[in-house]
Amino acid sequence: MATVQTASAASQLIRDTASYFEQMKVEIARMFPGRAALIDQIIICLLCQENLLLSVPVGQNECDFLRMFEKFFQFQSKTVLFCPEGWLKDGAVETKWSHKDFSKDFGSIHWLIAESLHLAPPGLQLGVVSSLRTKNSEPSKEKQILGTNLGTNSEQHLQGEGKKRDYSGDWSSLLVLNPLETEITQSIIDPVRISFFMNSVLLTPGKEEEFQYAKSATGLSSIPNTPANYPRLSLVTLQLLQDLIKNILIPDYLIRYAVDLIRATRPGDPHFPKGFQDVIASGGATSINKSLIVAAKARALMYGRLNVTSEDIREVLIPIMRHQILPSFQGQMENFQAHLFLKKILQQLPAPHSETSSEKKKRS
C-alpha cells in the first residue's frame, strides 16, 4: 500500500493537490458557474470516502455537471436510474430487493450517481446506501506503484512498499440526485436521509449566473472539452490524501467549538436559538461531531493547509447538519428550513480566535 514517508513529502503532496483542485474548479466553472461551494463539498466527500445527498430543483438534471468530475479523477463511474420497482439496467427494470444484489452489480464502482433514489422502495434505498458505505479492506490484486498523474513534482515524493491495492473494489463514493421538495429532503425516508455524510442543496442560480450559463452553452457541446493531456488525479494519490486527513492538526479549542455548534442544535441546550423550540424534535447526534471534524480536516487539506481553522468548521456545518435535524410535526407543517436554523446558530456562536485563559483555567 502506498504511503508518504516524510512530513516534507506530505506537505508537498498537499500543496500540489490544492493547486490541482483550484485548476479543476476553474475548468468546471467555465461551463457550470455558481457551483463553487458544491464542488468543495463533493471533493470533501471524496477525500473522506463518504457519500453525498444532492438535492436539486424539480426539472433540473445535474448529471452533466457530475460527469465533469470524470475528466479529473481516474475512477470508474456509473449512473443508475431508480424507479418504484427497482433500478433500470440495460434498458430493463431490475427488480432485485436485496442490497447484496445491488452491491454485486455496482460494488466495484468508485463514483456512483444514483438518480431518483427517492422513487425506489424504502428497503432498497437503505440497502443501496449501506452497501456502498462498506469498504473492502482486503487487497484483491497487486500492482507496481508507478506514481501519480498530477503532473507535478509530488510524484518523486511518493514512496511505498512496491505494491499497492487494486482500487477497483476498494472504496465507493455515492452521489444521489433527488427532486428538491423541501430543505430537509422529505422525499428520502429518515433512516436513509440521516445516513448520508452530507446533504447539499442546489438552488436555482441567480440572474447573472444564469446569464453566464446560457452564454457558455452556445457551443456545439453541452460539456466543454478538457484538453486530452489534462492531468487526472490517480486513485493512488487520492488514497494517499485520504490517509493524510487524520494527520491534519486541529487544536482543542476548535474541537470544543465544533462540539458547541452540534450541541446548540438540540432543544434544551443553552445556545439553542429562541423561537425554534416547537419546530424541532431532535438535533444532531453525538456521532455527528466526528463527521464535522473529519469534514473540516478534509477542507483544510483541499485548500493546502496542514491545520484546521474556524472557517473550515463553519463552512461544512450546514451540509453536514442540514439533514440531521428532525423537525416536529409542527415544523413539518410550517415548512421548517434547516439551513436558516443553522445560520442562526452560526450567528450566535462566532468563531473563536484562540483558547481564552479562563477556558484554560476551567479545564486545569
- The total domain count for the chain is 2
Q: Which of 219, 243, 267 is the last residue of a domain?
A: 243
Over the stretch 38-53, which tens digit does the pLDDT of each residue have?
Answer: 999 999 999 998 889 8
Q: Are residues 187 and 56 in the same domain?
A: yes
Distance CA 145, CA 110 (A): 19
Q: Is the same domain home to 211 and 339?
A: no
Q: Which of 243, 258, 292 is the last residue of a domain?
A: 243
- Predicted TM-score (pTM) above 0.85: no
For 67-123, how does the pLDDT look when each residue is reduced to its tens digit (9 = 90+)?
Answer: 888 888 887 788 888 888 878 877 777 776 556 666 677 766 778 888 888 888 887
Predicted local confidence at residue 68, as pLDDT: 82
Q: Say whether both 103 and 233 belong to one domain.
A: yes
Domain co-membership, 139 together with 255: no
| Residue 313 pLDDT | 97
pLDDT above 60 (res 364): no
Examine residue 361 and state whether it is found in any structural domain, yes or no: no
199 and 276 together in one domain: no
130 belongs to a structural domain: yes
pLDDT of residue 314: 97
Q: Are 295 and 48 in contact (CB under 8 A)?
A: yes
268-303 burial by CB neighbour count: b if 16+ within 10 A, else e? eeeebbeebeebbeebbeeebbebbbbbbbbbbbbe
Indicate whether 3 pLDDT > 70: no
- CB of 257 closer than 8 Å to CB of 296: no
Among 19-23, 218-222, 265-269, which is the least confidently predicted range?
218-222
pLDDT of 219: 57
pLDDT value for 56: 81
pLDDT for the residue 98: 59
Confidence at residue 209, expressed as pLDDT on a 0 to 100 scale = 74
Predicted pLDDT at 100: 65
CATH classification of the domain holding 330: 1.10.8.80
**pLDDT above 50 (res 142):** no
pLDDT greater than 50 at residue 4? yes
Half-sphere exposure of 141 (CA within 13 A, CB side): 6
How far apart CA 175 and CA 43 sit, in angstroms, is: 12
pLDDT at 294 over 90: yes
**Of 277 and 103, which is predicted with more confidence?**
277
Residue 177 φ/ψ region, left for φ over 0, alpha for ψ in the -120 to 50 degree band, beta for the rest: beta
Full residue range of the structural domain in which residue 309 is found: 249-350
Evaluate whether residue 355 is within a structural domain: no
Residue 83 shares a structural domain with residue 182? yes
pLDDT of 223 reads: 45
Question: Residue 265: pLDDT band by 50, 70, 90 thresholds?
Answer: very high
Confidence of residue 8 (pLDDT cuts 50, 70, 90): confident
Q: Is the pLDDT of residue 218 over 70?
A: no
**What's the pLDDT score for residue 198?**
92
Q: Are 214 and 176 in a shared domain?
A: yes
264 within a domain of the structure (yes/no)? yes
Q: What is the mean pLDDT of residues 151-155?
A: 33
Residues 142 and 283 in one domain: no
Nearest to 177 by CA among 78, 52, 319, 1: 52
**Structure confidence at residue 299 (pLDDT):** 97
Task: Specify the pLDDT at position 124.
Answer: 80
The better pLDDT of the pair 96, 285 is held by: 285
What pLDDT is attached to residue 83?
Answer: 82
- 168-189 mean pLDDT: 66
Compute the distance between CA of residue 18 and CA of residue 308 in angstroms, rounded to an integer. 15
Are 118 and 229 found together in one domain? yes
Provide the pLDDT for residue 158. Answer: 36
**pLDDT score recorded for residue 184:** 47
What is the pLDDT, as a whole number, of residue 188? 78
